[in-house]
Amino acid sequence: MIKNDLFLRALRGETVERPPVWMMRQAGRYLPEFMALKEKYDFFTRCRTPELAAEITVQPIRIVKPDAAILFSDILVIPQAMNIEVEMKNGVGPWLPNPIRSQKDVDQVVIPDIHEELGYVMDAIKLTKEQLNDEVPLIGFAGSPWTILCYAVQGQGSKSFDLAKGFCFSQPEAAHQLLQKITDTTITYLKEKVKAGVNAVQIFDSWGGMLSPEDYREFSWKYINQIVEALAPLTEVIVFGKGCWFALGEMAKSKASALGVDWTCSARNARYLTGGNITLQGNFDPSRLLSPPATIKKMVHQMINEFGKDKYVVNLGHGILPNIPVDHAKAFIEAVKEYETISS
């Protein structure tokens, strides 16, 4: 039994004494302890070494004490397993030397044996579960098929993902084949994560907001929903689409347990668009963690009042930034834990 199961109870829509809290990208770059490991080991070595991944996952649980852990990994381990080369370049971020631009390229993409190619992730989950000792739940994750396609076709990060969009619009058949291959791989991958011990999964659609509502339905949501349908009978599923407020109504009709909201959508609008019946997660502006701790606490309490304490998971509206002082991250978490005493 997990000692602190607030997060899972909130995902199930149960009444809670206070909302749970965790932060996207909480296992990482704002923590000095993480930076010390970054100095020693390159990015994918950290992802592929179960002992390192487990240590990085558990660091924020010890230091800032959120209500859930999220496994340290990366969404781009999926394309790597699918015969798409991915590097992490300093100052550039993800770099794919041979981007996918044609039907021939799509034909070279494989649906891998998950244990063979991504067994190290399952080992990291088992090790992390041991270290967590049932203190808090563990979240596993994957990128949405559309977001993975964006990197696979563009070859790197982008402000517009024009090449990725152009590929979908000029070669839709090849694009849909690629999206389906990513979807099938992701479903198997997440199912294996659940078997290995994660208590919930999150799908990150970081670049969904790049698409028009109609194109989002065709090139993103259709595939995310396949993943939700496959995983919902096995575990709690959170869908986070950055900039995808326009799709919240449709997402709310799915079997997802919760929907992530970014900071550009108010709590009131998010509740209205989703019909008020699904758990929401978010949506503190990550840059707001640069505010003084007293301001952070005041704003967090206001945010909880706006969303309501039930059917709500406190989080940021995107990943925590590397320049956030640890004390400010702690203030964010503490504000939620203090809410109980203030509101009761």
Return binding residues: 25-29, 44, 74, 151, 206, 318
**What average pLDDT does this structure show over 152-166?**
98
Number of domains in the chain: 1
Q: For residue 283, say if its preceding peptide bond is cis, omega within 30 degrees of 0.
A: yes
* 326 lies in some domain: no
State the pLDDT confidence band at 341, using cuts at 50, 70 and 90.
low
Tell me the pLDDT band of 90, cut-offs 50, 70 and 90.
confident
- The CATH number that applies at residue 20 is 3.20.20.210
Predicted confidence (pLDDT) at residue 340 exceeds the cutoff of 90: no
> How would DSSP label each residue in 106-169?
HHT-----HHHHHHHHHHHHHHHHHHHTTSS-EEEEEE-HHHHHHHHHHSB--SS-HHHHHHHH
Residues comprising the binding site for substrate? 25-29, 44, 74, 151, 206, 318
Q: What sign does the dihedral 259-262-267-270 (CA atoms) show?
A: negative
Q: Which two three-digit tokens encode residue 120?
A: 């190290």
Mean pLDDT of 27-34: 96
pLDDT of residue 343 exceeding 80, the answer is: no
In a domain, residue 187? The reply is: yes
73 domain residue, yes or no: yes
Establish if 64 belongs to a structural domain. Answer: yes
Q: pLDDT tens, 91-132? A: 899 999 999 999 999 999 999 999 999 999 999 999 999 999
Q: Is residue 248 part of a domain?
A: yes
Give the structural domain span for 139: 6-285+310-320
- 292 in any annotated domain: no
Q: For residue range 188-236, what is the model confidence (pLDDT) as tens digits?
A: 999 999 999 999 999 999 999 999 999 999 999 999 999 999 999 999 9
pTM value surpassing 0.95: yes
Task: Tell whether 290 is covered by a domain.
Answer: no
Residue 304 falls within a domain, yes or no? no
pLDDT digits (tens, 9 = 90+) for 264-322: 999 999 999 999 999 999 999 999 999 999 999 999 999 999 999 999 999 999 999 99
